[in-house]
Chain A
Amino acid sequence: MRNDRRPQRWTGYLFVAPATLYLAVFSLLPMIIAGWLSLHRWHLLKPEHPFVGLQNYVNILNDPFFRHALYNTFLFVVFSVPLGVISSLLVAALLARPLRGVGLFRTILYIPAVSSQVAISMVWIWILLPEIGLINQTLHGLNTLLDAVSLGSWSLPTDTAFLNHPVSAMGALVAIFIWIGLGPRMILFVAGIQQIPTTLYEAADLDGCSAWHRFRYITLPMLAPTMLFVVVTTTIAAFQIFTPVYMMTKGGPRRSTDVVLYHIFTEAWQKLEFGMASAMTYILFTMIALVALVQFTVIRPQAIEEAP
């Protein structure tokens, strides 16, 4: 391989120049702007933007509302990532085999991921409504059934406004996040499972291993790199949940779903405090970068094929 080294070609710069320039302006420059804004008291409509040093950061970290937003984000991540990863792994274990019609199931499970999140949020609001929403109507139907078998005293509540209670509102967002991302995560796991040499399973069969043991002692350990990748990308996605919050709860009830990205949105576009919003941006960015660093240092080096 190494002996066909071609001459260095300066034309290479011409090919990478547009993308490099683009990234410099629209990816790196915004980071610099955010850093600079975060050191100023920067209200969008006020002419003066006095330098305040790290005061924005001090204010934010002492702000109970921002701390609550941090807490909400962590809560969201802590529930949605493990549940999301485990559920998609289990589904992948079902779908990583040459069953008839398996492609159709993979396609169906992928649909929420490509759907408009605004449309998805609207239908979930409708499903979760008290009395007339699908869930409460189903409970009502069950009550009718219970009546029929004269267990009427056991009637189920049908007036739960799921999005008006802190716990169920957060629970709904977690459920929707898991539902949306199930397909892509499942596909990644299927790809990982299909790369496991079948000889391992044949050997296990000879030794009389049960399905659970095959999963536990072959599939799971061999999937470790895929698992790491899925956990990292799911965590990063969970840190950035926005559209369902904007559409369904607006951060409520009582700020219980006010996650950091939504909090930044309100700080910037309702209070117009771009300086404060930029400082919050940096805090969120740092959290995500720490997670991404795992991906970058552990996964990438082995994945990048050497260009000769």
Chain B
Amino acid sequence: MTRTLSGRRILHGFVVYALLLALAGVTMLPFLWMALTSLHPPNTQPPLFLEPVDPPAGAPVPTLFAPERWHPENYTYVLLFPELPVWRFALNSVVVTLGVVLFQLTLCSLAAYGFARLRFPGRDGLFTVFLMTMMVPASVMIVPLFLLVKTLGWLDTYAGLIIPYPYLSTAFGTFLLRQFFVTLPRSLDDAARIDGCSDWGIFWYITLPSARPALATLAAFAFIWTWTDFYWPLLATSSADMRTLEVGLSVFRDAYGTNKWPLQMTAAMIVLIPVLVFFLVMQRYFTRSDVQSGLKG
């Protein structure tokens, strides 16, 4: 009896792992295909099953996993491509992403402290207004936002890329941090206040250091959303020198000629690698379900 039960359990575990492995395979396949393609000769189609049209007599037929040789120099070629300032794109992405993260963390943590730890007339009403602005997805309001930024003279500037950043909702960030600030114990605040500490002092020396996990979560999401955003930098920039990597990549397609898939995939990998490294370092803030349940509220 017990033997059949454990036999069933082993079978069950086997089925679950087989399903999970298949899923992981399907999820990763496009990325592996991208990486493999990027290492093939720049002017060819990587062969999988197709026979070459004109097989050279006697030469071994190159296949996907065994090209005549690997071509890592595709990466230096794309990075140093004379017609596109790829390094400048990368610099812009770094500046804009760090700018958005710092700016939004500052705004959101200040507001979250006010809403969570202080009392003032109209506080809860104002917080409700904050929540209601979360119902307006910024990408929808991009037409008027564009005109506003144009009127401010911020098109094609870092200010225009960082400040009116439509993809990171300040209201959402405030909400996320407030939910965390509310749970912090009040005794430290009170002790500090009795010792003559100001609200600013409590915010800076007590609340912020205790809220590191929440701040890191918000920073991690802000980083990814900003780095991978496409729509706003596409519209807010017009000169090549202000493009971010994400927008720059979208013009690689035309710049290289659409048939040079190894180079296209190299360019895609160059945009993808930094964000993947960041994600793997910070992944617990994305996939820990307790953090996510905080997000959900």
Q: A28-B133, A30-B145, A110-B283 are in contact. Are A134 and B296 (CB under 8 A)?
A: no
B230 contact from A13, A192, A243, A305, Cβ within 8 A? A243
Contact string, B1-34, partner A, CB cutoff 8 A, digits 1/0? 0000000000001001101100110011011011
Asked if A94 is at the interface of the complex by the 8 Å CB criterion, the answer is yes
- Say yes or no: B115 contacts A307, CB within 8 Å: yes
A-B Cβ contacts below 8 A, count: 281
Per the bound structure, the CA–CA distance linking A284 and B144 in Å amounts to: 14
- Say yes or no: A22 contacts B107, CB within 8 Å: yes
A22 contact from B119, B134, B170, Cβ within 8 A? B170
Per the bound structure, the CA–CA distance linking A252 and B16 in Å amounts to: 40
A27: B residues at CB distance < 8 A: 133, 136, 138, 141, 170-171
A306: B residues at CB distance < 8 A: 182
Smallest Cβ-Cβ distance to B49: which chain A residue: A141
Asked if A16 is at the interface of the complex by the 8 Å CB criterion, the answer is yes
Residue from the set B33, B133, B245, B296 with the largest chain A CB neighbour count within 10 Å: B296
A6: B residues at CB distance < 8 A: 119
Per the bound structure, the CA–CA distance linking A192 and B246 in Å amounts to: 34
Per the bound structure, the CA–CA distance linking A106 and B24 in Å amounts to: 9
Q: A8-B119, A8-B121, A126-B265 are in contact. Are A236 and B253 (CB under 8 A)?
A: no
- Smallest CB–CB gap between A241 and chain B, Å? 10
B37: A residues at CB distance < 8 A: 126
- Say yes or no: A34 contacts B144, CB within 8 Å: yes
- Interface pick from A50-58, A77-85, A148-156, A286-294: A286-294
Smallest Cβ-Cβ distance to B268: which chain A residue: A119
Which residues of chain B from 213 to 254 have a CB within 8 Å of any chain A CB?
A: 224, 227-228, 230-231, 235, 245-247, 249-250, 253
- Say yes or no: A95 contacts B20, CB within 8 Å: yes
B182 contact from A11, A34, A144, A305, Cβ within 8 A? A305
Per the bound structure, the CA–CA distance linking A229 and B297 in Å amounts to: 10
Interface size class of A (residues with CB under 8 A): 35 or more
- Say yes or no: B16 contacts A99, CB within 8 Å: yes
Asked if A60 is at the interface of the complex by the 8 Å CB criterion, the answer is no
- Say yes or no: A137 contacts B108, CB within 8 Å: no
Q: A107-B287, A123-B30, A126-B37 are in contact. Are A307 and B116 (CB under 8 A)?
A: yes
- Chain A to chain B: the 3 pairs with minimum beta-carbon distance, closest first: A15-B114, A12-B120, A19-B111
19 other A-B residue contacts (CB within 8 Å) besides A23-B133, A137-B49: A8-B120, A15-B111, A16-B111, A16-B123, A27-B141, A27-B171, A30-B141, A37-B147, A106-B287, A115-B272, A115-B275, A116-B249, A118-B230, A123-B30, A123-B33, A243-B231, A261-B140, A289-B135, A306-B182
